[in-house]
Amino acid sequence: MVAGPAQDVYLLILSRLGLWVLETTPFLEESKMKRKMNEVLRVASGLVIFMLLMPVQASPEVFPEDGRVIRFIVPNPPGGGMDLYPRTLAPFLKKYLPWKKGEIVVENVVGAGGFTGTREIFFSKPDGYTIGIIMMRVALIPQIMGQVAKFDSSQFTFLGQFNNFPLVVFTNGRHPFLRSFSDFKNPARPLTFGMDIASVPTYWLFKEKMRLNVKAILGYQGAPQVRLALLKGEIDFESTEFSSIASLVKAGDLKLLFHLGDKPLDVAAGFPSIIDLGYDQEFAGKISTDRNIVGPPEIPKDRVEILEKAIWQALNDPQYIELSQKAGRILNVQNGENTRKICIDNVKFWSKYGDDIKDEMKKIGYR
């Protein structure tokens, strides 16, 4: 027995065909009439079966479903800046998603200086239930250097941005001779710079564009290791965004030297930019720490809109902002559209210099 909508179709076809038979064969004998009706029934049944076999456009699923888990992947170890931003955001994002119950689970997927987790986000199922935080330099540089299988970083689904700040350059507060940028000129020996994957373009800028006498110290797996080496006096200087070192600067353990922005920084007032130092404006503001919220490519548009709206509301929640300020985590939030533009411009800019960066890294033995 055919049930539901198919039954309605069956009855409609049958009634129309029966009416046609009655109208066109009014004077047939009873036996002929039965044969005619049997033919009609066979035709009607065949049409219904054909319609049932045709693909049906499914009704849109509710997103996110009640009780589901959304993974928020962090490509870095627990406790650092890349980890704490999404951990603080998670309960607010849960609050603004249109569900009665569900969970945001922050998951650290660590490896290759942040690239392993970045890659996992990209290749996750594009159903909206996996998102993450990435830094575009970490997504892009290994591909430029041919270290990993290539994927197009510009194809992430961009959902929002925590912040995007130019790097500040700093040294140990007790360094024997580095006090300002003038001390970079004609040093008695090459100044050592700690290298992890995110600092590849920064080193290249210092060496090839600023023509500083610097030497890369390799082998570090992330910013925390590099900072510890600086505090122990194993390297001369380093670079990062200010909020990551604010407490150490305030305590006198670290000292700012200059910054890589294209305009004055409130957090580095009184310290020159590379433009102030006389360098080409092309690279000013191009090396930054950007904490972007993304998903894999090709998430359905309706789900992107839901995620982006909830993320924007969470990032602008007064309580979230207050918690971030108390923890010293500086925000400079962007919506998905602006984040996409910023990130794609970044990809295009650094892709132009891919061969030059790769050649320089080969010279110093970076793999």
pLDDT at residue 2, as a whole number: 42
Which two tokens mark 302? 């309706």
pLDDT at residue 343, as a whole number: 94
Give CATH superfamily name and number for 168-286: Periplasmic binding protein-like II (3.40.190.10)
Closest CA to 163 of 351, 326, 325, 363: 325
Locus of tokens 């170890």: 77
Bridge partners for 132 per DSSP: 73, 294
What is the dotted CATH code of the domain comprising 69-165+291-354?
Answer: 3.40.190.150
Residues 6+ apart with CB under 8 A from 69: 102, 103, 104, 105, 129
Locus of tokens 């670290």: 254
pLDDT at residue 91, as a whole number: 97
Summarize pLDDT for 118-134 with one digit per residue, the tens.
Answer: 999 999 999 999 999 99
- Domains of the chain, by residue range, sit at 5-53, 69-165+291-354, 168-286
Which two tokens mark 222? 């992330």
Residues 6+ apart with CB under 8 A from 123: 151, 296
3-state secondary structure of 180: coil
Which segments of the chain does DSSP mark as H helices, in order? 5-24, 30-53, 81-96, 115-122, 136-144, 200-204, 223-231, 246-250, 301-315, 318-326, 336-351, 354-363
Residues of the chain with pLDDT under 70: 1-60, 148-149
pLDDT at residue 24, as a whole number: 52
Residues 6+ apart with CB under 8 A from 359: none
Closest CA to 203 of 221, 218, 188, 225: 218
pLDDT at residue 345, as a whole number: 93
Q: How many residues does the chain have?
A: 367
Tell me the pTM.
Answer: 0.79
Amino acid at 245: I
Beta-strand ranges (E) seen in 150-250 are 157-166, 168-172, 191-194, 214-217, 237-240
Which two tokens mark 210? 């600023």
